[in-house]
Structure 1
Amino acid sequence: MNLEYKDLLPEGFAPSSRVWVYQASRLFTINEALQIEGLLEEFVNSWNTHGTPVKGFSTLFFGQFVVLMADETDAGVSGCSTDSSVRVIKQIEQTYQVNMFDRQMLAFVVKDKIQMLPLAHLNHAIENGFVTPDTLYFNNMVLTKDELETKWIIPVKDSWLARKIAKTV
């Protein structure tokens, strides 16, 4: 599985640009992905904060992760503009019958595929070797462009899950 994505991020955005990652509960079909990309592009082109356009970016990575980015160097993102981004994600949820807000569902790269695992099953997965310290984990809690580039897809041992591995092993 090709996990290269950094070249697809916009170059003209500050490293401190705010990032939101939303993970879908399933892989989108090609047709759905194309529709979602169009919806995201439409949203970003009309994204405003108190009447000022937001310098925004959005995309769907790996057919399952919606990434929104706002460069706040010229105009900060207000509560209302953040709410509007949440509305578009909720629209995706309803239209495509997926969950985009389940923070208890973890995503890993196992056998060259993205595999979803409920947090409640993590200890069992570790005990049975499904998840190891070197398994790649999608750390969707990244907050900036810089973190998206350096801390999004990382080995479990470099994530907050490392302490879970230490307790189980």
Structure 2
Amino acid sequence: MFIPFEKMPDYARVWVYQTDKNLSDTEFIYVLETLEAQVNQWAAHGVPLVGSVKILHNRFIVVAVDEAQNQASGCSIDASTRWLKELSAEMNINFFDRSIVFIHQDALQSVEMLKIKSLVAEGIIHPDTLIFNNLVANIGEFKNNWQVSAAQSWMKRYFQPITA
């Protein structure tokens, strides 16, 4: 059963998927409508799940489930991943992009993990640069820790002074 994302409780489990490009308006609408329909039919062992989906920055798809209503099973979680795999094949968009996305000059930028150190050295990524932490586990964490400064993330090691 689909409910609006804003009505999901903070303890609701989330999965954040990241595209390899910004969705166009047409793609955004198609993805949102397709996933809302899928969430509306989502079930675990035949019992409906209470879930939601939201697209942010035309780049991130957040799928949520309220497990206090009914626990998501391995099969139901696999089903949600399959929705994105099918959309990926249909639309030729990678919904499983693993690059690091950050905000630079008021725009989303992405970079491969191996290039982070050089961007820090160049001053493009600095301690206050906002990055997106797609490993959040629930809506509470999503609200509080999805967008964090680089210095408050795993990237903090790049800003530590070198001691002899």
TM-score past 0.5 threshold: yes
1:121-155 alpha-carbon deviations (Å, 9 max, x no partner): 00010000110000000100101010000000111
Distance 1:164 1:21 in 2: 25
Pairing 1:165–2:153 present: no
Q: Residue type of the partner of 2:147? A: I
SS in 2 for 1:161: helix
Aligned length in residues: 159
Distance 2:158 2:87 in 1: 32
Partner of 1:37: 32
1:83-162 matched pairs, under 5 angstroms: 83-103=78-98, 105-162=99-156
Give the Å deviation of 1:161: 1.4
Structure 1 portions without partners, runs of 5+: 1-7
Q: Residue type of the partner of 1:94? A: A
1:5-16 matched pairs, under 5 angstroms: 9-11=5-7, 13-16=8-11
Match of 1:73 among 54, 68, 71: 68
Kept in 2: contact 1:23–1:66 (CA 8 A)? yes
TM-score normalised over the length of structure 2 = 0.92
Give the Å deviation of 1:9: 3.6
SS in 1 for 2:154: coil
Distance 1:144 1:64 in 2: 19
Give the Å deviation of 1:167: 6.9
Q: Residue type of the partner of 2:95? A: M
Structure 2 portions without partners, runs of 5+: none
Distance 1:102 1:165 in 2: 25
Percent same amino acid at aligned positions?
A: 31
Give the Å deviation of 1:166: 2.5
Distance 2:47 2:159 in 1: 46
Give the Å deviation of 1:91: 1.4
- When the two chains are superposed, the root-mean-square deviation of aligned CA atoms in Å is 1.4
1:79-99 alpha-carbon deviations (Å, 9 max, x no partner): 000010000010121122222
